[in-house]
Chains A and B, each alone.
Chain A
Amino acid sequence: MENMVNIYLYGKKYEVPSSLTIMNAMEYAGYQLVRGVGCRCGFCGACATIYRIKGQQELKTCLACQTKVEDNMYIATLPFFPLVKQPYDIEKVKPSEQIMMQLYPEVYACIGCNACTKACTQELNVMQYIAYAQRGDFEKCAEESFDCVMCGVCSSRCPAGITHPQVGLLARRLNGKYLAPETQHLLERVAEIENGGCEADLQDIMKKTAEELKEMYNNRDFEK
């Protein structure tokens, strides 16, 4: 017999195998999930979840697909949280401090409580990347927030009403487009393609018979 534990889904008690993740335990209990489920692999952030172990003070947060059940776990999923997303034109914005002030001024209301960092399901230093955003250091903000899955748990815990995932995303896009060094070899190849410079070779290889192609393929030289 498998080792079983008691969990409480939205307050209701279920007995489930202790080896299951929270998501699998919900399905074991009979739920067919539509909300709060996505990649089931820790990448999409759809399954943000809040729980407390009976008798403990601390309220914990996690991704349901990445966390095993524990005995006496009280579970509430957070399939949606009203995050703020400000539209902007990526071609017109500039990577300056003003852009944060303009789009997400609430970052300057951060009281430094660090609840966001404590809540992060990816163990990111969320408060730190918000601090970088305040200073307009988008490169560091981008790096520090890179592994964010945008589950929104940080924002649910923020007394200042900051939408951390969107701040990080804005910083990353500004960084990717404006701050990261330009790729010369990419620009050159795109120009070559647009000027028809790659066309002859492509037309040539497309005309090869299956046998000729196989011969070429089996005798390719490999970059070390």
Chain B
Amino acid sequence: MPEANLELQNEVAGLIVSALNLDISPEDIQPAAPLYGEGLGLDSIDILEVALAVSKHYGFQLRADNADNVSIFSSLASLTRHIAAHRTK
């Protein structure tokens, strides 16, 4: 991963921790581990909170064709890649 993306990844981890008021530090989030279910344990309520923070912070809105299809959130790394490709600020 390029250095800029690594920096973004750390920033996104911090955004998740602060948006959800998690009692862990951003470095504890494994980049490839699932964010929901058995990984970090987020659920759809959390995902929507993070989506709000992402849209506010990076100036674009997340989209999915269906509520079941929120694969951008499969891991911190995939969310970071998606933000890097779509951010407007």
Is the A/B pair a real complex?
A: no
Chain B residues with a Cβ under 8 A of chain A: none
Question: Which residues of A pack against B, CB within 8 Å?
Answer: none
